[in-house]
Structure 1
Amino acid sequence: MGTGLGAVGAAAAALAGCSADSGPVRRLRLATGPEGGPYNAFGQALAQAVAATGARLEIVPVSTAASVNNLQKLDDGSVELAVAMADVAEDAVLGRESFSRPAAVTALARVYVNYTHLLVPAAGPVRSMGDLAGRPVAAGAAGSGVQVVAGRVLRAAGLSTGPAPARERQLGLAASVRALREGTVDALFWSGGVPTPALSGLAAELPLRFLPLDGHVGALREQHGPVYTAVTLPAGVYGLTEPVGTIGVGNYLLARGDVPAGVVRTLLQVVFDRWRDLLREVTAGARLEPRFAISTGKVPLHPGAVTYYRSVYG
């Protein structure tokens, strides 16, 4: 696989006619995340990109609590599409952790990587993971992928049990930023693109320390598989003077298996034609390439996605 975006559009155009250029408009609900968050921004951008093509396809972003909630909605049929973190998506397919049984979901593409952020006030008492013992930590909203990865990191660090476990508080990003600024939590977990605007804004008013997490990647991979990778927050973002090693988790665009294959091909045509626009507000410097996009681990590709990738990239 591997070709320019112009070739992608030209080759995929032939696939779209059967599903999007005739007949009634197909309306697909897309579970995203909280308003103002990166998943919601991605969903809004995708809806606009699809509308601009004139295809007989409408994407309706639905605000949610994010990954876990999105997969539950996808499984129960209240949405047709969803965005979710790879670790939660694998849990759903395998019927583990937050999911009591395997969920029938398929992947369309791995679209970008989340970076796990663990930040504390630079002038505060926390200088390492061990210092979080007994302290309140903003650990993601209920139903979010942030909550899943934060809980796993704290368990790997031995901070979820014992005489003085970290006190996890279920807070979304905006509430987490507010709590750290006001001092009602001592640390904040976040999983998202780099830079995340809300954290850039916080760093501009409050000197921050970002704690390295890459030392926990091995334990997480041993326990949960290769959905976790070592990545680096680069120097320059958030005022960092040196890079900080941390944990990367992919994000998948997902669909119910009963979404027609032709509709999936049309949607993927838009995703690959307009990926720069889709990722602009989500993560800086990312590229969407086929060999990256098809790497969806234990989450099977939708049959329409398989056909799309084979037809366009060989």
Structure 2
Amino acid sequence: MTSAEVTRRRAMGAGLGALAGALAGCSGASGPVRRLRLATGPEGGPYNAFGKALAQAVAASGHRIEIVPVSTAASVNNLRKLDDGSVELALAMADAAEDAVLGREPFPRPTPVTALARVYVNYTHLVVAADGPVRSVKDLAGRPVAAGAAGSGVQVVTERVLRAAGLSGAPAPAPAPVSTPAPTSTPAPTSTPAPTSTPAPTSTPAPTSTPAPAADERPLGLAASVSALREGSVDALFWSGGVPTPALAALARELPLRFLPLDDYVGPLRERYAPVYTAVTLPAGVYGLTEPVGTIGVGNYLMARADVPQDAVRDLLRVVFDRWRDLLREVTAGARLEPRFAISTGEVPLHPGAVAHYRSVYG
């Protein structure tokens, strides 16, 4: 056991117990290699790239764990795989993860999953052809839109933005109840003579506003979305990922694009779905942008089943924090992984092994 590991064991909080410390100190020394399947995303996407980079980093670390990336449709699909036990680890967007834990649509019941770390932030992209008819979210009414693959986190945030804009085919959820104080009592009015009758006014129908037609949401993954926008079979595509996303950067080099602002929707989404949504900015220079574009940020969580052993979780997190520059290089530019950021997982509980790691290393 190295002196660093001895120091970590001594620094552990009393509530963690000696057993967790012993497991942390000995996990790399002996025993069989523990194989952990990691649900990532579609081939060529950022989750898939992160999963492959993590598998390589773990293999080079000397810890007795093996990460096996599994290609999927991404967040919602990944959370379901965690729940049914077909994987032990997963990547998922924060909004989908909270939906799973709280049992909100599309999850029929609360799902017992845990977080290991919030690893980076996705930026929501709404991309249209520069010479096309769409200049704002409202212009998507009745138009074909690439809305993210079925079972993806992109599809979740797309549906919520369109719903907030009144362009979703799904009914808008009821607003959260607002408590109001009970009215103060007032004395009964004194009697007054009955008013003389007056003829009833002729009824006139109240004006009705015709709702805008819903956007035509197409369940397309990133590669298919890019192809559809290039070919003109959709008027816009939604994407949630790192900056720059290589597929969009490549498209911007061959086709003039416009990236539409979405920051006006951060407030409504936070009000309805809690603070997993934040205001972020696509910086000038990326994708050829001449000025920044405000949009919606959503965290990405590295997640695990609660029954993954604590020593395996601690070994995995050591690799994540040692090699975060390599893991994020192909995913999002300029990102950092810091403990204060990593433990901010909202309604999603941290795995006990993650709690042990953060306490032992950072106090």
Q: Which bin holds the TM-score, normalised by the shorter protein?
A: over 0.9
* Residues in 1 aligned to 2:252 and 2:139: alpha-carbon distance in whole angstroms: 21
1:157 is aligned with what amino acid? Answer: A
* Residues in 2 aligned to 1:218 and 1:227: alpha-carbon distance in whole angstroms: 11
Counterpart for residue 18 of structure 1: 26
Counterpart for residue 313 of structure 2: 264
Answer yes or no: is the 8 Å Cα contact 2:166–2:212 preserved in 1: no
Q: Runs of 5+ in structure 2 lacking a partner?
A: 10-20, 170-210
Q: Which moved more, 1:98-107 or 1:157-166?
A: 157-166
For 1:71-116, what per-residue CA distance to the aligned partner results, in whole angstroms no more than 9, with x for missing partners? Answer: 0000110000000000000000001111001111000000000000
Residue from 146, 150, 161 that aligns with 1:153: 161
For 1:259-309, what per-residue CA distance to the aligned partner results, in whole angstroms no more than 9, with x for missing partners? Answer: 011110000000000000000000000000000000000000000100100
Counterpart for residue 100 of structure 2: 92
Answer yes or no: is the 8 Å Cα contact 1:28–1:60 preserved in 2: yes
* Residues in 2 aligned to 1:116 and 1:105: alpha-carbon distance in whole angstroms: 25
Answer yes or no: is the 8 Å Cα contact 2:40–2:71 preserved in 1: yes
Residue from 126, 130, 145 that aligns with 2:134: 126
1:23 Cα deviation after fit: 0.5
* Residues in 2 aligned to 1:299 and 1:113: alpha-carbon distance in whole angstroms: 16
- TM-score relative to the length of structure 1: 0.95
* Residues in 2 aligned to 1:15 and 1:195: alpha-carbon distance in whole angstroms: 40
Q: RMSD of the alignment, in Å?
A: 1.5
Counterpart for residue 356 of structure 2: 307
Map 1:185-224 to 2 at 5 A.
185-224=234-273
Answer yes or no: is the 8 Å Cα contact 1:15–1:265 preserved in 2: no
Residue from 179, 182, 192 that aligns with 2:228: 179
For 1:13-47, what per-residue CA distance to the aligned partner results, in whole angstroms no more than 9, with x for missing partners? Answer: 99744323211110000000001100000000000
Counterpart for residue 237 of structure 1: 286
2:111 is aligned with what amino acid? Answer: A
Map 1:23-42 to 2 at 5 A.
23-42=31-50
The 3-state SS of whatever aligns with 2:68 is strand
* Residues in 1 aligned to 2:22 and 2:308: alpha-carbon distance in whole angstroms: 19
The 3-state SS of whatever aligns with 2:360 is helix
Say if 1:112 and 1:82 are closer, same or farther in 2 by CA, change over 3 A. Answer: same
The 3-state SS of whatever aligns with 2:334 is coil
Q: Which moved more, 1:133-142 or 1:18-27?
A: 18-27
Counterpart for residue 198 of structure 2: none
Say if 1:168 and 1:262 are closer, same or farther in 2 by CA, change over 3 A. Answer: same
Does the alignment pair 1:295 with 2:303? no
Task: Count residues with an aligned counterpart.
Answer: 307
* Residues in 2 aligned to 1:259 and 1:18: alpha-carbon distance in whole angstroms: 17
Answer yes or no: is the 8 Å Cα contact 1:193–1:283 preserved in 2: yes
* Residues in 1 aligned to 2:137 and 2:107: alpha-carbon distance in whole angstroms: 29
- TM-score relative to the length of structure 2: 0.83
The 3-state SS of whatever aligns with 1:277 is helix
1:55 Cα deviation after fit: 1.4
Does the alignment pair 1:169 with 2:218? yes
Does the alignment pair 1:52 with 2:101? no
* Residues in 2 aligned to 1:46 and 1:61: alpha-carbon distance in whole angstroms: 9
* Residues in 1 aligned to 2:37 and 2:29: alpha-carbon distance in whole angstroms: 19
Say if 1:206 and 1:23 are closer, same or farther in 2 by CA, change over 3 A. Answer: same
1:288 is aligned with what amino acid? Answer: L
The 3-state SS of whatever aligns with 2:168 is coil
Higher helix share: 1
* Residues in 1 aligned to 2:325 and 2:259: alpha-carbon distance in whole angstroms: 28
Say if 1:273 and 1:15 are closer, same or farther in 2 by CA, change over 3 A. Answer: farther
* Residues in 2 aligned to 1:76 and 1:246: alpha-carbon distance in whole angstroms: 34
The 3-state SS of whatever aligns with 1:20 is coil
The 3-state SS of whatever aligns with 2:217 is strand
Identity %: 83
1:163 Cα deviation after fit: 4.6
* Residues in 1 aligned to 2:29 and 2:78: alpha-carbon distance in whole angstroms: 29
Answer yes or no: is the 8 Å Cα contact 1:20–1:263 preserved in 2: no
